[in-house]
Amino acid sequence: MVFGEKVIIKTKGFSDILNITGSVQSILSRSKIDNGIVSVSAIGSTASVTTIEHEPALVEDMKDMLEKFAPKAMRTRHAETWGDDNGFSHLRASLMGPGITLPFSKGRLIIGTWQQIVVVDHDNRPRNREIFVQVVGD
C-alpha cells in the first residue's frame, strides 16, 4: 500500500528549523498502514529534512554550524548570475539533502525519545514550504 499527503508550513528562512514530527505521525495514522517506511521530502532546492533533538540550544548550534559551513555573505556564482543572493541556501540544502526515510511499526514512527523530524528552510526569505510525506507498507 502507498499513501501520501502534503504538509505546508510557514518559515522565516535563513535556516529556520521547524519540528514536523506531529504532522508526519498524523499522516502515518491517517494512512491506516501498520508497518513499513515513511519518506519525508522538502519540495524545492533550498530546504532540507533531517532529524535532530529539536530544543532551542541545539537549534541555535545547528544554525551556527550551517553559517560557518556556507555563510550568508559568501560569494556565489549563482547569486551573481541570478541576483537573488541565495546561493548559500542551495549549497546548504544540497549537502544536507532534501529528505529522509524512516521505519514505522504498528502505526508508530520508530524514532528515539529525543529525535524529531525537522524541516530546515535555508532560503533568504520567509516561505510557505511544501513537504511531501509518502507512506509505503503493508
What's the pLDDT at 131? 98
pLDDT of residue 54: 98
Specify the pLDDT at position 134: 98
Instruction: Give me the pLDDT at residue 75, please.
Output: 93
CA distance 80 to 67: 19
Q: Which pLDDT score is estimated for 118?
A: 98
**What is the rounded CA–CA span in Å between residue 128 and residue 131?**
10
Residues 60-108 pLDDT 10s: 999 999 999 999 999 999 989 999 999 999 999 999 999 999 999 999 9
pLDDT in tens, 9-46: 999 999 999 999 999 999 999 999 999 999 999 999 99
Query: Under 8 Å CB-to-CB from 133, ≥6 apart: which residues?
Result: 4, 5, 6, 7, 23, 24, 27, 28, 38, 39, 40
Please state the pTM of the whole predicted model. 0.95
Neighbouring-strand partners of residue 131: 7, 42
What's the rounded Cα separation, in Å, for the pair 80 and 85? 7
Cell for 62? 545547528
Map out the domains of the chain with their CATH numbers: 2-137 (2.60.120.460)
